[in-house]
Amino acid sequence: MRVTERVSAIEYAIRDVIPYARKLEKKGKEIIYLNIGDPVKFGFDTPEHVKQALFEAVKEGFNGYSSSEGVLELREAVCEKEKKVNSVEISPENVIVTNGISEAIQMIMAAIVDKGDEILVPGPTYPPYISYVNFFGGKPVSYRTVEENGWQPDVSDIRSKVTDATRGIVVINPNNPCGALYDEKIVKEMVNLAGEYGLLLISDEIYDRIVYEKKFVSTSHLAEDVPVLGLNGFSKAYLMTGWRLGYMYFYDPEGKLRELRDNVVKEARIRLCCNTPVQRAGIEALRGPQDHIKEMVEKLRERRDYSLKRLNELDGISCAKPEGAFYVFPKVHEIGSRWKNDFQFVRDVLENTGILLVHGSGFDVTYGSGHFRGVFLPSIEVLKTAFDRLERFM
């Protein structure tokens, strides 16, 4: 059966590397999976009160379809959270509940990208932003982020890449894959640039509550009259990765996004709705106790510090300090000589050490090549094993 070109061209580096590890596992090799950002896989458990809310929703018969935009009470809870945590004022009618952020990205790109349209994405970036722009016939254009400056965006480079075909600018803050936390001044400059050219800002903020020394500032908080499409979800801070619950909101003080919102709602209708009992649990996640977040961040800070120290002690590797999320994105200095490319490096590491990493070019060929992404989610004991193996290998 013939398949379309747009489907056969899909790539997702984070999961595309798994089959190589599975083959080695079948041969008896122990694999340490440092490729996927799933805290639940590493001992961070979904809060008990959130689990209980799901059980009770099912028992109480909260099992039918919800509205396509999402349960009203959940959308109200999202507004409360964004106001309390990020100082962003939005209304429930400007919130759409989605099956994780991935579905939100798909819906947004389907609504704003026609053939030949360009979307500016950070280089390196979370791969679905590249894949979905390509899927709908557009062109993802990566803008420079500066490794020597903690992977902060280069606003002058963004400006140089704006064309008549540009439809929007993606902001991922805190950043995946680099762990960068963008300076408030730089985010404000990006807001001003979007306002100057009349471009949509798409701000992915799913790691907003997983930050370390510095304070996170939401793009929408700085936006004033510039419209922002905000993306967030429950997978990371609320440890609900497999529950697949997220949301998008339209920060739209002047009503410029009304048509876009109405048409994204149409997309929500054709997939009916998100999981209804899980939406009830999402309400409890936002309104219930938040203590687990502080505990999680403290553990992650310790694991971040340990990983950063070990990486920067390795021959031929250097790593900028992650200020948010739970990723490292180190540079491998001998790629191009000892290894042909970063994919070859990752395969070599896997075959010789059993450590599964993700090649940096899978996050952007221009700015990600020569690097790899790993997670620092495992315990210090597991991380020590991994870094001891990597040290011997290097």
Indicate whether 114 and 232 sit together in one domain.
yes
**94 and 208 share a domain?**
yes
Of the ranges 1-15, 90-104, 142-156, 362-376, which one carries the lowest mean pLDDT score?
Answer: 1-15
d(CA 274, CA 305): 38
Residue-range definition of the domain harbouring residue 98: 48-287
Alpha-carbon gap, residue 184 to 217, rounded angstroms? 6
Do residues 201 and 83 share a domain? yes
Residue-level pLDDT at 13: 63
187 and 150 housed in the same domain = yes
pLDDT at 314: 95
The number of distinct structural domains making up the chain is 2
* Average pLDDT over every residue of 386-392: 96
What is the average pLDDT value for the chain, to the nearest integer? 94
Same domain for 32 and 58, yes or no, is no
229 and 321 housed in the same domain: no
Tokens of 33: 């999976």
Q: Does residue 8 have a pLDDT over 80?
A: no
Cβ-based neighbours of 366, under 8 Å, separated by 6 or more: 123, 142
Task: Indicate the residue type of 44.
Answer: F
| Higher-pLDDT residue of 3, 389 | 389
pLDDT at 162 over 80: yes
Tell me which long-range contacts 29-32 makes (C-beta under 8 A, separation of at least 24).
29/354, 30/354, 31/350, 31/354, 31/355, 31/356, 32/354, 32/355, 32/356, 32/378, 32/382, 32/385, 32/386, 32/389
Return the pLDDT at 22: 84
Asked if 237 and 347 sit in the same domain, the reply is: no
Pairing, β 372-375 against β 358-359: antiparallel
Question: Please, which pLDDT band fits residue 1 given cuts at 50, 70 and 90?
Answer: confident
Output phi, psi for 139, to 5 deg: -130, 110
pTM: 0.92
Q: Kindly state the percentage of the chain with pLDDT values over 70.
A: 99
**pLDDT > 90 in the chain, percent:** 91
Q: Calculate Rg over the CA atoms of the chain.
A: 21
Residue 15, pLDDT score: 67
Residues 162 and 256 in one domain: yes
Domain harbouring 341, CATH code: 3.90.1150.10
Q: Which of 268, 287, 306 is the last residue of a domain?
A: 287
Place of tokens 């509205």: 67
pLDDT value of residue 12: 67
**pLDDT tens column, 166-208:** 999 999 999 999 999 999 999 999 999 999 999 999 999 999 9
- The predicted model gives 369-378 an average pLDDT of 97
pLDDT digits (tens, 9 = 90+) for 69-118: 999 999 999 999 999 999 999 999 999 999 999 999 999 999 999 999 99
Same domain, 264 and 346: no
Q: Are residues 85 and 136 in the same domain?
A: yes
**Interval 240-250: pLDDT, tens:** 999 999 999 99
24, pLDDT greater than 90: no
pLDDT given for residue 3 in this prediction: 83
Q: What is the residue whose two structure tokens read 């899927």?
A: 135
Of 263, 287, 311, which one is at a domain's C-terminal end?
A: 287
In terms of domains, do 252 and 126 share one?
yes
Q: Is the pLDDT of residue 4 over 90?
A: no
Q: Tell me the CA distances in angstroms from 84 to 79, 88, 90, 286, one per residue in order.
A: 9, 8, 11, 11
pLDDT digits (tens, 9 = 90+) for 37-79: 999 999 999 999 999 999 999 999 999 999 999 999 999 999 9
CATH code assigned at 270: 3.40.640.10
Which comes out higher in pLDDT, residue 9 or 212? 212
